[in-house]
Amino acid sequence: MRVVVLDFETTGLSAENDRVIEVGAVALDGKNCVDTFSQLIHPGDYLPYQITQITGITDEMLYDKPPAAEVMPQLAEFIADRTIIAHNAPFDKKFLDAEMNRVGLQVLNPVLCTLKLARRVMPGHSSYSLGNLAQHLGIQMERAHRALDDAKATAYLWRHMYEEINAQMTQELDTAIFEDLSNKSAKQVQKLFSI
């Protein structure tokens, strides 16, 4: 299965009003990482203080970086025809769509959410945050809330869940199977896989 694991750091929560300041992406062919994409992006305005506190990204770091209009076509080329995977995918997909629309592009690839899938495949956690799941799986996160590091952690989480599901399936896994699992209740998935 060819996927790209995607993560954005942004100036806020509104894809309509806020902008992407960093993108990180990991391309996987099956379990193998075949490429990465990482770029800081100048948002066209100063960063809110709380965003610097969360991400560690400063205005000085973004001063000479390209705007999204230059980065998004490169990202679209990197994504190509791969299924997109993200932790809390609706958030990243909103920003992907907004930034692509601003430059006249669309990315219509299927999208899978590791947060939604983890709630079904890894029951019993008090929190399904990327940091908590990474810690549970022993995944080292060098810099949480930096796009490439979060994308790498999400890729490890994805591979873990992929292997768990693959071990119990008799057919080759594809996007449709994961979409189906994501749309089932946690109890249905647990019954299906004896989790």
The answer to whether residue 58 scores a pLDDT higher than 80 is yes
Coil/strand/helix, residue 61: helix
First to last CA, the chain: 24
Single pTM value for the model: 0.93
Quickly list H helices, the chain: 49-55, 59-62, 68-79, 89-102, 114-121, 130-137, 147-166, 175-183, 186-193
Q: What is the pLDDT of residues 63-79, one digit of tens each?
A: 999 999 999 999 999 99
Instruction: Average the pLDDT over 95-112 and give the result.
Output: 97
Pairing mode, strands 2-10 and 83-86? parallel
pLDDT in the model for residue 57: 98
Q: How confident is the model at residue 123 (pLDDT cuts 50, 70, 90)?
A: confident
Coil/strand/helix, residue 113: strand
The answer to whether residue 194 scores a pLDDT higher than 70 is no
In this structure, what CATH number is given to the domain that contains residue 61?
3.30.420.10
Q: Looking at the 3D structure of the chain, how many domains does it have?
A: 1
Q: What is the pLDDT of residues 9-23, one digit of tens each?
A: 999 999 999 999 999
List the strands of the sheet with 111-113, edge to edge. 32-40, 20-29, 2-10, 83-86, 111-113
HSE toward the beta carbon, residue 70, CA cutoff 13 A: 12
Instruction: Average the pLDDT over 50-69 and give the result.
Output: 97
Q: Which helix (H) or strand (E) holds 111?
A: strand 111-113
Q: Would you please indicate which residues are annotated as catalytic (active-site) residues?
A: 145
pLDDT in the model for residue 195: 53
Instruction: Average the pLDDT over 97-115 and give the result.
Output: 97
Domain that holds residue 14: 2-193
Here the tokens at position 193 are 């896989």
The answer to whether residue 108 scores a pLDDT higher than 70 is yes
